[in-house]
């Protein structure tokens, strides 16, 4: 009886390790290749096309990570959208609130289609600076 318990415990442990070893053999790896700063002002703006897919490059961005920073002591909310052909306005789109000069918000945009469709616009009179890193 004791041997059966030991054997079944070992088998259960091996079964748990199998999926982990499969994942470990195929890690999801992103490599940074470019950076840029984007000023989000009164007109909707996206990422720079030549930066997210360099001319003559054999790769394009599959992940964008950005840090949004406010340059004033007032609130700097902004809205964004990654839906193709839908441009955000000062009142329409997903909102990110930045409330003070010292506050910063980080976000990521995954996938080429979402990255090329991404646009942002400020929702008040205060602009926001996005410091972005692009990964292939």
pLDDT value at 6 more than 50: no
Range of the domain at 115: 32-135
Residue 71 located in a structural domain = yes
Give pLDDT, residue 111.
Answer: 94
**Residue 45 CB coordination number (10 Å):** 17
Residue 75 located in a structural domain = yes
DSSP letter for each residue of 95-122: EE---STT-EEEEEEESHHHHHH-EEEE
Residue 57 located in a structural domain = yes
Residue 120 located in a structural domain = yes
Residue 123 located in a structural domain = yes
Residue 22 located in a structural domain = no
Give CA–CA dist 128/106, Å, rounded. Answer: 12
Hey, which bits of the chain come out as E strands? Answer: 32-40, 63-70, 78-81, 94-96, 104-110, 119-122, 128-135
Q: How many domains does the chain have?
A: 1
Residue 39 located in a structural domain = yes
Taking the model in full, what pTM does it have? 0.74
Give pLDDT, residue 84.
Answer: 82
Maximum C-alpha span of the chain:
75
C-alpha of 85 from chain center: 20
pLDDT value at 57 more than 90: no
Taking residues 40-48, report their average pLDDT: 94
pLDDT tens-digit profile of 63-116? 999 999 887 777 788 888 888 878 899 888 888 888 766 667 889 999 999 999
H/E element holding 17?
A: helix 2-25
Residue 125 located in a structural domain = yes
CATH number of domain containing 102: 2.60.120
């Amino acid at each position: 009886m004791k041997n059966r318990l030991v054997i079944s415990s070992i088998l259960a442990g091996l079964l748990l390790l199998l999926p982990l070893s499969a994942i470990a053999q195929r890690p999801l790896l992103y490599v940074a290749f470019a950076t840029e700063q984007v000023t989000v002002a009164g007109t909707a703006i996206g990422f720079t096309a030549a930066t997210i897919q360099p001319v003559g490059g054999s790769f394009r961005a599959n992940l964008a990570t950005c840090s949004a920073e406010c340059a004033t002591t007032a609130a700097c909310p902004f809205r964004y959208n990654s839906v193709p052909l839908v441009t955000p306005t000062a009142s329409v789109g997903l909102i990110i609130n930045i409330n003070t000069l010292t506050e910063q918000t980080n976000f990521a945009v995954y996938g080429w289609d979402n990255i090329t469709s991404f646009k942002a616009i400020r929702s008040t009179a205060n602009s926001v600076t996005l410091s972005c890193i692009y990964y292939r």
